[in-house]
Structure 1
Amino acid sequence: MEDTSVVQLHQNKPEDECPNLSLRPLDVSDIDAFMVWATDEKVARFCTWEPYTNKEDGLSFIKNTVVPHPWLRAICIDDRPIGTISVTSNSGNDKCRGELGYVLASKYWGRGIATKAVGMVAETIFDEWPHLERLEALVDVENLGSQRVLEKAGFQREGVLRKYVVLKGRSRDMVMFSLLSTDHCPT
């Protein structure tokens, strides 16, 4: 039986920026890699959290939030974490929906890595969690890079939710994207 906690994508194209991209669980031994993106103000700009300022808070987050999360993986190149990606399943009447979230070290932006990671999740999550029929992602209207990631990964832009969330003290408009289990993924 295949280990579903690790997903790998190997491309043979020489221009591929991420030939050894994989997704695997993130754990406390990854703290130094985690702190690279978790302390970066550019990375945290559209996130619900502020940049981390010390390793102890980062370790606490990994132990108390990351490790027990039902589906959160490190985005890795050559098994070295450069970001994370997660799916959070809803419950009750909303159990058919899951929310996708991801973060990537700014050094790796613009290389197609996030798009490939999202595509890897889209290819497997509906099999891993058969109760899901819809994977959705909310993106700040100003986060154009993340919007492009989702569009390239086959997500549909559904519309703008005005004044949908308070983020860092301001109400923000969010763009809703979705991918259905019946949609064809281009990746």
Structure 2
Amino acid sequence: MEGPVEFWEISLRPLELSDIDDFMVWARDDKVTSFTSYGPFSRKEEGIEYINEVVRPHEWFKAICINNRPIGAISVTPFADSARCRGEIGYVLGSKYWGKGIATRAVKMVVNMIFDEWPHLERLEALVDVENVGSQKVLQKAGFMREGVLRKYCIMKGKTRDMVMFSLLSTDPRI
């Protein structure tokens, strides 16, 4: 992973159990997991359990890779039943890769794929903690619209959190 970031080959692929060591790099990191619903994991067994119970059965979950090596993950979770026209995007990236445009590129890649793969999807949403300014910038650079703050929206890691709602419609222009 030498050279300027614009020349790195960024790809998306399934996250496999064989990727556990790479997964644990970000899953152990307090900075990375402070805005996730999981972790930080202290033991490799926790990561294996997460991959087996959450990642593998997930409908659309991919590793964000540089030269085919996972440095993060991205997923789209469809809403069920009557809200089937919506999906929620989520992503995580190892902290040493923050600020390099990688997450933005991965989000744009997913946007270009998901509306084709799931033609019923009309709206892609993202909920971001108000304190997670970096992730808010990623979504704005990827063309998402900031819709507003949802006050005291959820409890994460024992703390009630305000969340910012972002969306991108299938009919919105792609950046």
Q: TM-score, with normalisation over the residues of structure 2?
A: 0.96
Tell me the secondary structure at the aligned position of residue 114 of structure 1. helix
| 1:88 and 1:99 in contact (8 A); partners too | yes
Query: 2: CA distance between counterparts of 1:109 and 1:183?
Result: 27
**Partner of 1:99 in structure 2?**
88
**Partner of 1:184 in structure 2?**
173
| 1:24 and 1:75 in contact (8 A); partners too | yes
Query: 2: CA distance between counterparts of 1:29 and 1:15?
Result: 28
4+ residue runs of structure 1 moved beyond 3 angstroms? 14-18
**Partner of 1:115 in structure 2?**
104
Choose the corresponding residue for 1:44, options 13, 28, 33.
33
Aligned-residue offset at 1:17: 3.6
Query: 1: CA distance between counterparts of 2:109 and 2:7?
Result: 13
Query: 1: CA distance between counterparts of 2:84 and 2:71?
Result: 30
Deviations 1:44-82 (A, max 9, x none): 011111200101111111112111111000000000000
Query: 2: CA distance between counterparts of 1:124 and 1:168?
Result: 32
Query: 1: CA distance between counterparts of 2:34 and 2:158?
Result: 12
Aligned-residue offset at 1:133: 0.3
| 1:18 and 1:77 in contact (8 A); partners too | no
**Partner of 2:19 in structure 1?**
30
Aligned residues: 173
Q: 1:18 to 1:45 in 2, by over 3 A?
A: farther
Query: 2: CA distance between counterparts of 1:16 and 1:59?
Result: 30
**Partner of 2:114 in structure 1?**
125
Query: 2: CA distance between counterparts of 1:18 and 1:26?
Result: 23
| Structure 2 gap ranges (5+) | none
**Partner of 2:135 in structure 1?**
146
Pick which of 78-87 and 47-56 moved more: 47-56
Tell me the secondary structure at the aligned position of residue 62 of structure 1. helix
Query: 1: CA distance between counterparts of 2:4 and 2:36?
Result: 31
Matched, 1:72 2:42: no
**Partner of 1:161 in structure 2?**
150
**Partner of 1:4 in structure 2?**
none
| 1:18 and 1:113 in contact (8 A); partners too | no
Q: TM-score, with normalisation over the residues of structure 1?
A: 0.90
**Partner of 1:7 in structure 2?**
none
Tell me the secondary structure at the aligned position of residue 75 of structure 1. strand
**Partner of 1:84 in structure 2?**
73
Query: 1: CA distance between counterparts of 2:35 and 2:5?
Result: 27
Aligned-residue offset at 1:15: 4.7
**Over aligned residue pairs, what C-alpha RMSD do you find?**
1.1
AA paired with 1:94? A
